Every structure is written in structure tokens, then in C-alpha cells.
């Protein structure tokens, strides 16, 4: 079983990102689950959401305490809360930040540097979507670095989840994810 | 077709396909997504029920009570303080023998204010005369809602389907939602007999005044009918899985082929056992936490979990049959009868007197949204061996 924990702030689409991972994994024919760390979701407050992917049905309901993958949607959380709690030397970390890979140590994440991947998802979001909505963009990097979901299934998940919002939003999100995937 | 859906949406789609005539509700977290979806189906022209957004839960319950009294299929959903506000009507619905079906997205009760999950809310109406079902996962929630209407309409008893707030309502999971055509094969259109509902051409009185000469017999009859409903719930569970194939049905078949021991191969409309044959330790619980417990049971050779799917009527025989030879019995409640113990523990204790080898021990966990982890379940397995009589709060 693979466990994913996403850290972000209220209003950044943290829960949506976890749901998209679960939908994409389901599209790949896997068993999956996604849920938020149910809170009173005030804009700007630190928020967590979780996803699980497995080859057999998932029964547990506990939060994700030992993540295989950590997604940090908002680098300003680093140093504010211990985002790495429960992670180990094999945990893959994806951080949305404008910092280059050479400055990875400055982020202060107490995990092996080789597992920490940096992507300026905010920049891609502003360029392509026109809004600071980096949650979907990071999923492109997630698919690339972890191979836990296929790009095709992620694309389908975006269409399923955002279909009601119109073709333009769907296409922009897919384009942004593609850019992050090939980053 | 298997889909991945938020629990609330799976329930809303199921209700749409069951085709009630009247839905009335007042939004309250964590039930809101269910009734929002149902309101949207109506607004989008996908459903033809009457949707009444009430001004309070008291009104919502009263509206479905009145509509059900007029002889049509109805639905409502609520949580926590909303259910408490409905309480007076909840008792009336059962007393008038109306086949109302309600979802309770279980949540803790104030004070202090909490919006998070536990099962205290439903315990406040435990004695009201409703059939109370509890779902472990999305599929069970969907299946129980469909069965709930069949049972309610056969017996003229209201049914509440309890789903853990957030844990099920806000989680994405895979599920099969039977379509309207499939459901109709199992659940025919609701056609109450003339003279049993409010109709100007066939006038009747519902919920009339009863003097001391009659009140007691009417209450006794309700009690006896509720007790007798256990057999119907079991029969309908079999019927349902014969007619409608969902993931749950497949799982039952797989399990049955593996285990031959009938006592420990129990999975009916009332209870389900999972784990070792002749286990030393049995944990008894209701709702979504059973999933977490099952994962822990897989790592403990001599343990099992007994899931209570139906809390009222209370399945005492089924429970006793499974737990009578266990060395240790732990009952996990996500609610508490303050000043006593967990309500499920207390009921099992009452049923077990002298009939089990082990004492019944009450554990309280998960109040007000506290996450129940696998580690906590391991802790209960350790603690239960101490054989204490004190109620234990498992907080971390």
C-alpha cells in the first residue's frame, strides 16, 4: 500500500489534489481512497489531505502517519509545522517552491536530499491557468517522480472532476500538468 | 458499474435511484453534501421528487412525517444537533408506524462544540423505536439504504442508516450504485393499503390520543414488532444480494467458500464476523472503524472482530453465539452513556449475563473526531487482557 500526505493551506485545493490522485489510481485499475484531515477549513489555515493506493481493497480509515510520498503545496508551511513527521529515508517529497534544486538544504526538510523534488508549480499555474492554483500542477510532478498514477489516468481524472467547470478550465489544467510532468 | 465517489454522493445517487416522492432536509455538516446533491438533481431536472428545504431540522422531520402519513416514500438526512432538534418528531414517526428512511451522518454532540465524527448523536434516539443500521464503508451504506426502504415499507417501521460523518461522507472510495431499474427489481413502488394513510376519501387518524387503557399495549406492540423485524432484516439481506450484485455480494461469496465453521462465518443483515476461528479475543464495534480493526486483526492470530450492522433491534442471539467462548471481549464505542459506559458495551453486558466465559469490557475511542489508529486497536488488544472493570478511554 502506498500512502500519500498532502500539506497546504485552506483555499489551495489540498483536498481536491488528494481526490484527483485517488480518481487517477482508480482509473489505472487500482484500489484507492482519499480524504481530508477534516477540519473547519478556513482560508489560509494549514490543512492536510490523504490518499492511499493499493492492489487490494483498502479498509483502514486512519490518517496517514507514515507517508511514502509527501506533497508540500505551500513552502511557507516549512518551519511552521513539522510536515515531515512520520516520513523516513525512502519517502519521496515534492515541494512547490521557486527555489532551485541547489538550495534544497535551505528548505530545512530533515530528509535525504536525493528524495526531495522541487517544482515551481505556482509559476506554471500563473502562466497557464492564470491563477495561483498549484494543486493540480504538482500532480504532474507527482505522476512523473513516483509513477504511482499514469499521466493518462490523471488527465482523465481532471476531465471527470472538472468537467462541469467547462472545457477551458479542463484544458488549461491538463496543459499545466503536462508541463509539470515534463519539468 | 464500479465508480470512485465521495460517500455523500454515493448515498445521494442511491436515494435518487430509489425515487422517493418527497425529500425535506436542513443542511448540517457533515450531512450537507448529501442533501445538496439531491437538491441539485431536482434543480437539474434529473429527479421528480418534491424537494423542500425546511427552516430547521424540526420542520424537515415534520415535513417527511406528514408526507409519509399521506402515503408516499420520503427521505431526510441530518447529523448531531440536527438530530437532537428532530427528536420529538423522531419518536412520533416510530409511534405512528411511518416507514420513513433517514441518513444520520454521525457526529459528536455539543458542548463543547464539535463538528467531527463520533456516534453520540444516534444514541440520543436509541430508544425511539427506529431500526438503526450502521455502515462500514461506501458499499454497505448504499446497500443498507436500499434495504432500509424495503424493510421500512414491509413492516411500517422507520429505518435510520448511520454513516460516520466525514470518515464516510467526505471520503472518495470505490462503490457500485445500482441504477433505478435494478433497484426496482428488489424494491417495488410504494403502494400503502387504503385506510392506512391520510386520504380525504378514506379518512383515518394517525397518532391519536391513547388513554392509560391503551397506550401500554400500543408501545408493547411496537417493541414486539421491532424485535420481530430482526428476521425480516436477515431475510432481506439475503434477498437483496440475490437480486442486486454489488461488490459486497461478491465478498460474501468469497468468504463463504473459505470458512466452513458456521459460527465464525457469520455475515447477515445484523452482524458480520471477521478473523480467527475460535479466537481468544473479540473486539465488537460499529461503523467505519471496523475497517481499521480488520487490518489489525490480520496481524493478530487469535483475534476477531464482530461488526454490529444493526443496533436496534439488538441482535443479542447473534452476538452471544459468536462471543460465548472467547477469553477476552472488548467493546469499542464511539459514544458514551455518561456516568455509565459505552452504550453498545452496556447492551452486550445485559445480554451476556452468565452466558459468556469472559467479562465484557467497555472501551471508548474516537470521540469528537479523534482519529482511531491501528495502534489504538493494538492497545485495546493488550488492555483487554488485564480484565479491568473500569471503562477505558483510548485517546492515543
pLDDT of residue B170: 96
Summarize the confidence of residues B186-196 as an average pLDDT.
Answer: 95
Check residue B283 and report its DSSP letter: E
A34, A59, A62: residue with CB nearest B172:
A34
- The pLDDT value given to residue A79: 87
Given a cut of 70, whether residue B239 has pLDDT beyond it is yes
Q: Do A62 and B373 touch (CB under 8 A)?
A: yes
The number of C-beta contacts closer than 8 angstroms across A and B is: 58
B269-394 and B2-242 share a CATH fold: yes
Share of chain B above pLDDT 70, in %: 96
Residue B311: is the preceding peptide bond cis (ω within 30°)?
no
pLDDT of residue A43: 86
Average pLDDT over residues B84-88: 98
Tell me which residues of chain B have a C-beta less than 8 Å from any C-beta of chain A: 4, 6, 30, 115-117, 137, 166-167, 170-174, 288-289, 291-292, 294-295, 369, 371-374
Q: Pick the residue from chain A with its C-alpha nearest to B247.
A: A57
Measured from the Cβ of residue B300, the count of other Cβ atoms closer than 10 Å reads 17
Pairing of strands B328-333, A2-9: unpaired
Q: What are the structural domain ranges in chain A?
A: 2-181
Selected for mutation to probe chain B from A47, A50, A51, A61 (highest B CB count within 10 Å) is A61
CA separation for the pair A19, A22 (Å, rounded): 5
pLDDT at B256 over 80: no
Question: Residue range B17-28: average pLDDT?
Answer: 98
Measured between beta carbons, the chain B residues lying within 8 angstroms of A38 are 30, 116-117, 166, 170, 369
Distance between CA atoms of residues A61 and A69, nearest Å:
18
Closest residue of chain B to A38, computed from CA coordinates: B166
Is residue A96 a contact partner of residue A120, using CB atoms and an 8 Å limit? yes
- Length, in residues, of chain B: 396
Q: What pTM value is reported for the model?
A: 0.96
Q: How confident is the model over B94-119, as a mean pLDDT? A: 97
- Measured from the Cβ of residue A41, the count of other Cβ atoms closer than 10 Å reads 14
Inter-chain touch A38–B30, beta carbons under 8 Å: yes
Asked whether the beta carbons of A97 and A107 are under 8 A apart, the reply is yes
B112 upstream amide cis, omega within 30 of 0: yes
pLDDT higher than threshold 60 for residue B46? yes
Nearest to B130 by CA among B89, B170, B188, B169: B89
Q: How far is A53 from chain B (nearest CA, A)?
A: 11
Count of CA atoms in the C-beta half-sphere (13 A) of B34: 35
Burial class (CB in 10 A: 0-12, 13-18, 19+), B112: exposed
B97 band by pLDDT with thresholds 50, 70 and 90: very high
Write the residue in A18, A26, A62 that is nearest to B292 by C-beta: A62
User: H/E element holding B141?
Assistant: helix B138-155
Are the Cβ atoms of A62 and B167 closer than 8 angstroms? no
Contacts of B383 (CB under 8 A, 6+ apart): B330, B361, B363, B392, B394
Three-state secondary structure call for residue B150: helix
Question: What pLDDT sits at residue B262?
Answer: 72
Residue B98, all three cell numbers: 411511518
Which residues in A120-138 are b (16+ Cβ under 10 Å) and which e? bbbebbbebbeeebbbbbb
Of the candidates B30, B116, B292, the beta carbon closest to that of A60 is on B292
Residue pair B364/B391 in contact (Cβ under 8 Å)? The answer is yes
Q: How far is CA A37 from CA A9, A10, A15, A156, in A?
A: 12, 12, 9, 25
Q: CATH number of the domain at A2-181, please?
A: 3.40.920.10
Residue A97 Cα, gap to closest chain B Cα (Å): 28
User: If interface means Cβ-Cβ distance under 8 Å, which residues of chain A face chain B?
Assistant: 18-19, 22-23, 26, 31-36, 38, 40, 58-63, 65
pLDDT in tens, B340-393: 999 999 999 999 998 999 999 999 999 999 999 999 999 999 999 999 899 999
Please choose, from the candidates B359, B297, B348, the residue with its C-alpha nearest in 3D space to the C-alpha of residue B318.
B348
The grid cell for B127 is: 430508544
pLDDT at residue B235 tops 70 = yes
What is the mean predicted confidence (pLDDT) over B288-305? 97
Beta strands A31-36; A46-54: pairing state: antiparallel
* Residue A24 contacts residue A153 (beta carbons within 8 Å): yes
Residue holding cell 378514506?
A: B202
Distance CA B148, CA B236 (A): 9
Q: Can you read off the three cell numbers belonging to residue B3?
A: 465508480
* Closest CA–CA distance from residue A181 to any residue of chain B (Å): 24
Residues of B in contact with A22 (CB under 8 A): 4, 172
Separation in Å, CA of A30 to nearest CA in chain B: 10
- Residues B5/B102/B80/B115 CA torsion (nearest 10 deg): 10
Q: Which helix (H) or strand (E) holds A136?
A: helix A135-146
- The domain ranges of chain B are 2-242, 269-394
pLDDT of residue A100: 93
What is the bridge-based pairing of β-strands B74-78 and B22-25? Answer: parallel
* pLDDT, chain B, mean: 95
Confidence of residue B208 (pLDDT cuts 50, 70, 90): very high
> What confidence score (pLDDT) does residue B55 get?
97
Residues A168, B66: Cα–Cα separation, whole Å: 46
Burial of A144 (0-12, 13-18, 19+ CB in 10 A): middle
For residue A148, count CB atoms less than 10 angstroms from its CB and return exposed for 0-12, middle for 13-18, buried for 19 or more: buried
Does domain B2-242 fall under CATH 3.40.50.970? My reply is yes
The predicted pLDDT at position B254 comes to 47
What is the Cα–Cα distance from B47 to B43, expressed in whole angstroms?
8
Complex prediction ipTM: 0.96
> What is the pLDDT at residue B192?
96
* Length of chain A in terms of residues written: 183
What b/e readout covers A81-103, taking b as 16+ CB neighbours within 10 angstroms?
eebbeebeeebbbbbbbeeeeee
Query: What whole-number percentage of chain A has pLDDT above 70?
Result: 98
Low-confidence ranges of chain A (pLDDT < 70): 38-41
For range B305-324, the mean pLDDT: 97
Going by CATH, does the domain composed of B269-394 fall within 3.40.1360.10?
no
- Which of A31, A40, A63 is nearest residue B174 as measured by Cβ atoms? A31
| C-alpha to C-alpha distances, B146 to A5, A160, B15, B164, B172, nearest whole angstrom | 35, 26, 8, 18, 20
Q: In terms of Cα–Cα distance, which of B5, B64, B8, B2 is closest to B40? A: B8
Among B30, B174, B291, the residue with its CB nearest the CB of A61 is B291
- CB-nearest to B174 from A26, A61, A65 is A26
Grid cell in block for residue B200: 380525504
Hey, are the CB atoms on B172 and A22 less than 8 Å from each other?
yes
Q: In what order do the strands lie in the sheet with A46-54?
A: A116-119, A92-96, A69-72, A2-9, A46-54, A31-36, B172-176, B2-6
Amino acid at each position: 500500500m502506498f500512502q500519500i500526505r498532502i500539506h497546504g493551506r485552506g483555499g489551495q485545493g489540498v483536498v481536491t489534489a488528494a481526490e484527483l490522485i485517488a480518481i487517477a489510481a482508480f482509473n489505472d485499475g487500482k484500489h484507492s481512497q482519499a480524504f481530508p484531515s477534516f477540519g473547519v477549513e478556513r482560508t489560509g489555515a494549514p490543512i492536510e489531505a490523504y490518499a492511499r493506493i493499493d492492489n487490494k481493497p483498502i479498509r483502514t480509515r486512519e490518517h496517514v502517519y507514515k507517508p511514502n510520498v509527501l506533497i508540500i503545496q505551500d513552502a511557507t508551511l516549512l518551519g511552521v509545522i513539522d510536515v515531515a513527521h512520520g516520513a523516513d529515508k525512502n519517502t519521496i517529497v515534492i515541494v512547490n517552491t521557486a527555489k532551485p534544486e541547489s538550495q534544497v538544504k535551505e528548505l530545512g526538510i530533515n530528509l535525504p536530499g536525493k528524495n526531495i523534488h522541487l517544482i515551481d508549480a505556482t509559476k506554471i499555474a500563473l502562466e497557464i491557468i492564470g491563477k495561483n492554483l498549484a494543486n493540480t500542477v504538482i500532480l504532474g510532478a507527482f505522476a512523473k517522480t513516483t509513477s504511482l498514477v499514469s499521466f493518462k489516468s490523471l488527465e482523465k481524472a481532471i476531465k471527470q472532476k472538472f468537467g462541469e467547470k467547462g472545457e477551458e478550465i479542463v484544458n488549461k489544467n491538463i496543459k499545466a500538468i503536462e508541463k509539470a510532468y515534463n519539468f | 458499474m464500479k465508480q470512485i465517489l465521495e460517500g455523500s454522493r454515493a448515498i445521494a445517487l442511491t436515494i435518487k435511484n430509489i425515487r422517493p416522492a418527497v425529500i425535506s432536509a436542513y443542511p448540517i455538516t457533515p450531512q450537507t453534501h448529501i442533501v445538496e446533491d439531491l437538491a441539485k438533481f431536482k434543480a437539474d431536472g434529473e429527479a421528480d421528487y418534491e424537494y423542500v428545504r425546511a427552516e430547521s431540522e424540526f420542520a424537515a422531520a415534520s415535513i417527511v412525517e406528514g408526507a409519509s402519513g399521506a402515503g408516499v416514500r420520503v427521505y431526510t438526512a441530518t447529523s448531531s444537533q440536527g438530530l437532537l432538534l428532530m427528536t420529538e418528531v423522531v419518536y412520533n414517526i416510530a409511534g405512528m408506524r411511518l416507514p420513513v428512511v433517514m441518513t444520520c451522518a454521525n457526529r459528536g454532540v455539543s458542548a463543547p462544540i464539535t463538528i467531527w465524527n463520533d456516534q453520540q448523536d444516534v444514541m440520543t434516539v436509541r430508544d425511539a423505536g427506529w431500526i438503526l443500521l450502521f455502515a462500514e464503508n461506501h458499499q454497505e451504506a448504499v446497500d443498507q439504504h436500499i434495504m432500509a426502504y424495503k424493510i421500512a415499507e414491509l413492516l411500517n417501521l422507520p429505518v435510520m442508516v448511520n454513516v460516520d460523518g466525514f470518515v464516510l461522507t467526505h471520503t472518495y472510495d470505490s462503490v457500485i450504485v445500482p441504477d433505478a431499474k435494478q433497484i426496482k427489481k428488489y424494491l417495488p413502488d410504494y403502494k400503502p393499503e387504503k385506510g392506512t394513510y391520510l386520504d380525504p376519501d378514506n379518512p383515518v387518524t394517525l397518532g391519536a390520543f391513547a388513554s392509560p387503557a391503551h397506550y401500554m399495549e400500543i408501545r408493547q406492540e411496537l417493541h414486539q414488532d421491532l424485535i420481530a423485524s430482526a428476521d425480516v432484516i436477515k431475510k432481506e439481506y439475503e434477498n437483496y444480494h440475490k437480486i442486486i450484485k454489488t461488490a459486497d455480494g461478491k465478498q460474501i461469496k468469497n468468504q463463504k467458500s473459505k470458512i466452513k465453521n458456521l459460527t465464525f462465518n457469520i455475515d447477515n443483515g445484523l452482524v458480520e464476523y471477521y478473523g480467527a476461528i475460535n479466537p481468544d479475543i473479540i473486539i465488537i464495534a460499529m461503523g467505519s472503524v471496523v475497517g481499521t480493526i480488520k487490518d489489525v486483526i490480520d496481524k493478530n492470530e487469535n483475534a476477531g472482530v464482530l461488526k454490529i450492522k444493526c443496533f436496534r433491534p439488538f441482535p443479542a442471539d447473534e452476538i452471544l453465539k459468536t462471543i460465548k467462548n472467547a477469553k477476552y471481549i472488548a467493546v469499542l464505542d464511539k459514544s458514551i452513556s455518561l456516568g455509565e459506559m459505552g452504550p453498545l458495551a452496556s447492551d452486550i453486558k445485559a445480554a451476556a449475563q452468565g452466558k459468556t466465559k469472559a467479562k465484557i469490557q467497555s472501551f471508548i475511542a474516537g470521540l469528537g473526531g479523534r482519529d482511531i489508529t491501528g495502534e489504538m486497536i493494538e492497545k485495546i488488544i493488550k488492555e483487554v487482557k488485564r480484565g479491568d472493570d473500569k471503562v477505558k478511554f483510548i485517546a492515543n
